[in-house]
Amino acid sequence: MSQFTNLTITKARELLDDGEVSAVELTSHYLKEIDSKNKELNAFLSVHAEKALASAKGADIKIKNDQASYLTGIPLAIKDNILVKDELCTAGSKILENYKASYNATVIERLNRESAVILGKTNLDEFAMGSSTENSAYGVTKNPNDISRVPGGSSGGSAAVVAADLCLGALGTDTGGSIRQPASFCGIVGLKPTYGAVSRFGAVALGSSLDQIGPMAKTVKDVAIIYETISGHDPLDSTTVPNNSKLLDRVEEINIADLRIGIPKEYFEAKGLNSEVKEMVMKAVSWFESQGATIKEISLPHTEYALAAYYIIQPAECSANLARYDGIRYGRRADAKDLLDTYLKSKGQFLGAETQRRIMIGTYALSSGYYDAYYSQAQKVRTLVKKDFMEAFEDVDVIFTPTSPSTAFKIGEKTADPLEMYAADIFTVTANLAGVCGLSLNCGKINGLPVGLQILGPWFGENLLFKVGEFYEQLR
């Protein structure tokens, strides 16, 4: 059905409201596409066909009665570490293979309130630990642009289903780049919101001071639509804050000639940055300059320490959060002779190598005698990284960087070297350490593989990111 090819949420909303297509027809189309394509891509772990069609029928009634909102009847996918009541939530791990959620995450409640249609749950690196979706206990997801390559991670399944036209949008989580990097690899748009902008209640915790749920879609406007629905204060998550509108006036007034864009030299001089990726991103910068924007080289001097600090803080928080999966309180239990044996065998049998690695690193960093040497020092670096951004945003409105140092790499190319895999997060972890918002959008292709432009904004500057991103999408 050609009318559904490369369909966006915005266009689908028009078709639904004009009566040219029903929500049931739209949902049925995507369910057929999933049935046809998912076996090759391995992007959906579960499909909720009956519930999706029932939701679509309810959405059609709302549309008929002029009660529809932007997302009414819109088919979406959900990363499989976000709870959907009565559905499996594996977090990509064998230890949660049979776990069914007993309640909805707050973001799901907000989507349900708008009568969005949830098609199913998408694949991810186990417990969201990875940059390629190769760490899933349920197999590797493939990049729709080239099935010999990874889709990025850890929200690789969500990125792949959007890029492959299996839904109109998706939710992912971003702890160190896990929305933005797969968005870059798959050629779509992904947003990591400001820490505290979107409730984490009902998301399987990895790094509690770093995690954020965010939207992925084909266009900046579509991402903004999903974000508006899921964001805002939640009494069930004490880290959330009321919607912050202090930047709205500035955003309404700003045009492209008013923009002050910061180019951090540490990112563009980074070891490992592919020269063609750098050139492609600089073309985007030059385009903004040609439209009248002011380009200013800035310095984020503590960037070189950010990746090392992140890979102490995140495993430490992971170690604490994953302690609950012990075969007693949560998850599958191995046959064992006593309590200690239960702990050892359950985690040994049902947790993957990367998850075990990070738990061990985190436990070591938090242990007596090493806490001050590692975890405490990493938190001090984090403070300095945040200070760098605070000073930078006094001089510029937004910061442009590559999203990833390379395009999508081959499946299996980096699995033998964890440090090389960690380096894929070099341009994204700083936003999580500082808590700022970041948007990745496509700025071109190299040999058919998408390249991501990352736009970083100040705290609660999402609307500014959307406006800048739409300038680029629409005017270019």
Q: Give me the active site residues, please.
A: 79, 154, 178
Position of tokens 């499909």? 47
Pairing of strands 189-192, 212-217: antiparallel
Tokens found for residue 188 = 């779509």
DSSP string, 43-54: -EEEE-HHHHHH
215 and 61 in contact (C-beta within 8 Å)?
A: no
| CA separation for the pair 276, 279 (Å, rounded) | 5
Q: Which two tokens stand for residue 71?
A: 């997302």
| The residue to which tokens 């070099």 are assigned | 426
Quote the CA–CA distance of 160 and 146 in Å, as a whole number. 11
Q: Are 422 and 272 in contact (CB under 8 A)?
A: no
C-beta separation of 396 from 293 below 8 A:
no
Query: Which is it for the CA torsion 142, 144, 150, 156, positive or negative?
Result: negative
Q: Interhelix angle for 156-163 vs 23-41, to 10°?
A: 120
CA distance linking residue 46 with residue 100, whole number of Å: 12
Length of the chain: 476
